[in-house]
């Protein structure tokens, strides 16, 4: 079984390839789902040895892979009226007027040795992706904050999380393009307060290479 250190190295190599592809050809990705598929493909090469993993106990064992798309969190959540993700607490919310549900990580490397059956394994490495999100009028970074909530939730117990916050500027309206400087400032402030188990990559792809405004945490990106 691969060590966590080796897994992190493989993930960051795949993110680097993905980053280069997005800058080279941002419209290769029609939607966020396309981004999921591309990065999953890159990750699958590195995690080829872990494609056949047995999970379970003596009574029931399933054969699976460590790499999954939209894998559920261990914690349950509900959303506020503003769309902010809030962790459900049984003690505080004994009679909720909402239906809490498990969240989902965009891409996940699960820990096969953790407690629980195949559907309730701990995610050791999680990746959250977004395309052209949080370019709103008040810059509340709701999508980014929600991703961070899942990655840092103690119950989810993620060893290493990644937030890939990508912007494709060419298709943005003039109004949204004018908001980008403030968004960069907000992202920078957000990054300064990240927990040790989360790494953020904010990336803008422009039509002209000279115009690219890129925030890369070079200390970890290969």
Q: What are phi and psi of 92, to 5 degrees?
A: -80, -30
- Determine the Cα–Cα distance for residues 174 and 110; give it in Å rounded to an integer: 41
pLDDT at 130: 96
Instruction: Single out the residue of 143, 150, 140, 198 nearest to residue 166, CA to CA.
Output: 143
pLDDT at 97: 65
Q: Which two tokens stand for residue 116?
A: 């629980």
Query: pLDDT averaged over consecutive 10-residue blocks of the chain (222 residues)?
Result: 82 93 92 95 82 71 87 92 84 65 94 87 96 88 95 96 94 92 91 91 78 63 62
pLDDT at 33: 94
pLDDT at 21: 93
pLDDT at 108: 96
- Determine the Cα–Cα distance for residues 136 and 138; give it in Å rounded to an integer: 6
pLDDT at 126: 98
Token pair 């490495």 is found at 125
- Determine the Cα–Cα distance for residues 76 and 57; give it in Å rounded to an integer: 25
pLDDT at 210: 55
Surface-to-core class of residue 186, CB atoms within 10 Å of its CB (0-12 exposed, 13-18 middle, 19+ buried) = middle
β-pairing verdict for 123-131 and 214-215: unpaired
pLDDT at 119: 84
Secondary structure class of 164 (helix, strand, coil):
strand
- Determine the Cα–Cα distance for residues 102 and 98; give it in Å rounded to an integer: 13
């Amino acid at each position: 079984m691969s060590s966590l250190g080796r897994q992190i190295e493989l993930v960051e190599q795949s993110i680097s390839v993905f980053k280069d592809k997005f800058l080279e050809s941002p419209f290769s990705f029609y939607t966020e789902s396309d981004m999921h598929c591309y990065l999953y493909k890159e990750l699958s090469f590195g995690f080829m040895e872990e494609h056949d993993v047995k999970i379970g106990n003596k009574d029931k064992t399933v054969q699976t892979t460590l790499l999954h798309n939209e894998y559920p969190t261990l914690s349950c959540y509900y959303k506020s009226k503003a769309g902010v993700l809030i962790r459900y607490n049984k003690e505080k919310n004994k009679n909720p007027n909402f239906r809490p549900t498990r969240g989902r990580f965009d891409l996940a490397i699960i820990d096969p040795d953790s407690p629980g059956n195949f559907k309730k394994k701990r995610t050791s490495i999680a990746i959250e992706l977004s395309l052209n999100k949080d370019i709103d009028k008040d810059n509340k970074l709701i999508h980014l904050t929600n991703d961070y909530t899942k990655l840092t939730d103690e119950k989810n117990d993620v060893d290493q999380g990644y937030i890939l916050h990508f912007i494709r500027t060419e298709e943005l309206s003039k109004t949204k393009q004018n908001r980008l400087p403030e968004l960069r400032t907000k992202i920078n402030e957000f990054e300064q307060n990240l927990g040790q188990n989360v790494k953020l990559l904010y990336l803008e792809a422009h039509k002209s290479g000279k115009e690219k405004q890129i925030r890369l945490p070079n200390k970890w990106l290969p």
